[in-house]
Amino acid sequence: MRRWARHTALAVVITALTCALAPSASAGPSPRATDPWWVRKLDSVIGGRPFSVALGDDRAFWYRHLAAKGRPPASNEKLLLSMALLNRLPVGSTIRTRATATVRLSHGVLQGSLWLVGNGDPETNRAALKRLARRLVDGGLRRITGSVRGGTRPFSRDWDAPGWKDYFPALYIPLPTALTFEGNEDAAGVNITDPELRAAAFFTQRLERLGVKVGGPPRAGKQPDGLRPLAWIDSEPLRQIVRRMCLRSRNFYAEVLGKRLGLLTQGKGSIAAAARQIEAYVASRGLSVTAYDASGLSYDNRAQAQTFVRLLWDADGRAWGTVLRSSLPHAGQGTLKGRLKGIKLHAKTGTLTDASALTGWVWLKREDRWAEFSIMSSGFDDTAAKGVEDTIVRVIAKYAVAPA
C-alpha cells in the first residue's frame, strides 16, 4: 500500500509539472516565424484574451482567430437588422403615419372619432404631427364630433426578450410601438407606456389651435378595421433612418424597425418575429446566427466573427451595399467618438457588460482598398476591450496585406 501510494503521489507531481510547463489552451495563438509580421503582431495583441477576430477581402480570409466561436454580438445585432431591412425594402422607401376615420369628411365635419395610425416610424414627433394636422385642415376639416384617438395596433406591445436584464425597459429601451411619439420618452427622458395617448393629446391641441372643434378628450386603444385615410405623412427615407440608428446605436429605432420588418414578412409586429426574420435573412446566405431581438440587448444572442465578415462580403455585391457602409460611423463619429483617429473605416460598435464588438470596413494603407473585419469579445471587461479593438484595427489598417 505504501509503495503504491508513493508511486501514485509521484505520478501526480509529474502530471502537475507537465501541465504547468505545457502551453495553456487560453494562451492565444502560437505565432510562426513564417507568418507575416502583421499577423504575428495581431497574435501578440490578442494574447490569451477571449477575442474572436476575422479579416478578409474578395471572399477570402486573411486572418482568423477563434472566428467560429459564437459570442453575444451586442449592438452588432443592429448591423444584421440593417441588412435584413435593406434587403427587404427599397433604400428610399418611407413609413406612413395616417389620420383615419370610419367615415368620410362631409362639409368639414367628421362624424365620430379620428384615429392616428402608425406603422413603425421611430421618428414621429411634434413637428410631424403638426404637418399632418395642417394637411387635414387644408383638406377642409373643421369639426370632429368624437375625439382624437391613438391606435395601438398593428404591433404587439411586447417589451422584453430572452436574455434582457429586467431593468432594460426602464433604462435602455423605450416601448416599441407602431405609433411612436417623441421617441416614446417624456420631457425628462423617462420611458413612457402611453405614447399613443400622448400623440392623440398633442394632435388634439394642434387641431384646436388651427380652429378645429374636437368633441371629446383624447384617447388611445385598438383601432377598428375598415378605417379610411383622411391625410397622411411619410417618414424620412429608410436609408436615413437606418443611418441614424447605426450612428448612435439607438435601441428604440432597432426594435421599432424590427417589429415593422416582422409585420411585413411574417404578419407579426413583435420582437420575437423580428428576431426570426433576422435569422431567416442570415440563413438565406447559407449562414446562421441565434437572435432574440433586433437591438442586440440580449445576452443570449450569438454570432460568429467570420459570419459577420461573410455577410459583409455578400453586402458588397448588393445594390444597397454602399448604403449600408455609409450608415456606419467613421472614426471619431457617433459611437466611435474619441476612437481610431486617423484611421479610415466604417464600423458598428457593440457593448454589453463584459461583451464588446466592432465590425465593418477598414481601409488598408498598403493595399489601397477596403477589407472587411469583425472583432468580438466576451467574458472580458468591455471598456478594456475597446482599447484592444482599436489596436487590432490600427495594425490591420497600417500593415495588413493580402496573402501571397
Tell me which of 29-38, 203-212, 341-350, 368-377 is least confident. 29-38
Mean pLDDT of 71-78: 98
Instruction: Provide the pLDDT for residue 30.
Output: 56
53 class by beta-carbon count within 10 Å (0-12 exposed, 13-18 middle, 19+ buried): buried
Tell me which of 2-6, 46-50, 213-217, 280-284 is least confident. 2-6
- Contact between 301 and 77 (Cβ < 8 Å): yes
Residue 3 pLDDT more than 90?
A: no
Domain residue limits at 231? 96-235
- CB burial of 292-319 (b: ≥16 within 10 Å; e: otherwise) equals bbbbbbbbebbbbbbbbbbbbbbbbeee
Same domain, 211 and 299: no
CA 120, 123, 129 angle in degrees (round to 5)?
95
How many domains does the structure of the chain reveal? 2
Same domain, 62 and 138: no
- Starting at the edge strand found earlier in the chain, the sheet holding 51-57 runs 60-65, 51-57, 369-378, 355-364, 345-352
Same domain, 41 and 86: yes
Instruction: Provide the pLDDT for residue 34.
Output: 79
Question: Of 235, 260, 275, which marks where a domain is finished?
Answer: 235
Same domain, 245 and 394: yes
Same domain, 113 and 222: yes
Alpha-carbon Rg for the chain in angstroms: 27
**Residue 13 forms part of a structural domain:** no
Mean pLDDT of 130-139: 98
DSSP string, 63-112: EEESTTS-B--GGGHHHHHHHHHHHHS-TT---EEEEEESS--BTTEE-S
- Contact between 390 and 373 (Cβ < 8 Å): no
Mean pLDDT of 83-99: 98
Same domain, 231 and 248: no
Same domain, 376 and 257: yes
| pTM of the full structure | 0.91
Mean pLDDT over the full length of the chain:
93
Mean pLDDT of 132-145: 98
Of the two residues 135 and 27, the one the predictor is more confident about is 135
Mean pLDDT of 133-161: 98
Q: Compute the distance between CA of residue 352 and CA of residue 330 in angstroms, rounded to an integer.
A: 21
Q: Which of 118, 363, 137 is CA-nearest to residue 230?
A: 137
Residue 28 pLDDT more than 80?
A: no
Question: Of 235, 250, 274, which marks where a domain is finished?
Answer: 235
- CB burial of 8-19 (b: ≥16 within 10 Å; e: otherwise) equals eeeeeeeeeeee
Residue 298 pLDDT more than 50?
A: yes
Q: Running DSSP on this structure, what letter comes out for residue 61? A: E
pLDDT tens-digit readout, 184-243: 999 999 999 999 999 999 999 999 999 999 999 999 999 999 999 999 999 999 999 999
Residue 302 pLDDT more than 90?
A: yes
**Residue 186 forms part of a structural domain:** yes
Same domain, 247 and 388: yes
Instruction: Provide the pLDDT for residue 23.
Output: 36
Mean pLDDT of 103-108: 96
What is the pLDDT confidence band of residue 4, given thresholds at 50, 70 and 90?
Answer: very low
**Residue 375 forms part of a structural domain:** yes
Same domain, 69 and 124: no
Query: Whats the size of the chain, residue-wise?
Result: 404
What is the pLDDT confidence band of residue 18, given thresholds at 50, 70 and 90?
Answer: very low
Of the two residues 8 and 206, the one the predictor is more confident about is 206
Of the two residues 312 and 22, the one the predictor is more confident about is 312
Q: Widest CA span of the chain, in angstroms? A: 109
Look up residue 287 and give its three cell numbers.
449562414
CATH number of the domain within which 84 lies: 3.40.710.10
Mean pLDDT of 89-102: 98
> Any residues with CB less than 8 A from the CB of 78 and at least 6 apart, and which?
245, 246, 249, 254, 294, 295, 296, 348
pLDDT tens-digit readout, 262-278: 999 999 999 999 999 99
Q: Compute the distance between CA of residue 319 and CA of residue 322 in angstroms, rounded to an integer.
A: 7
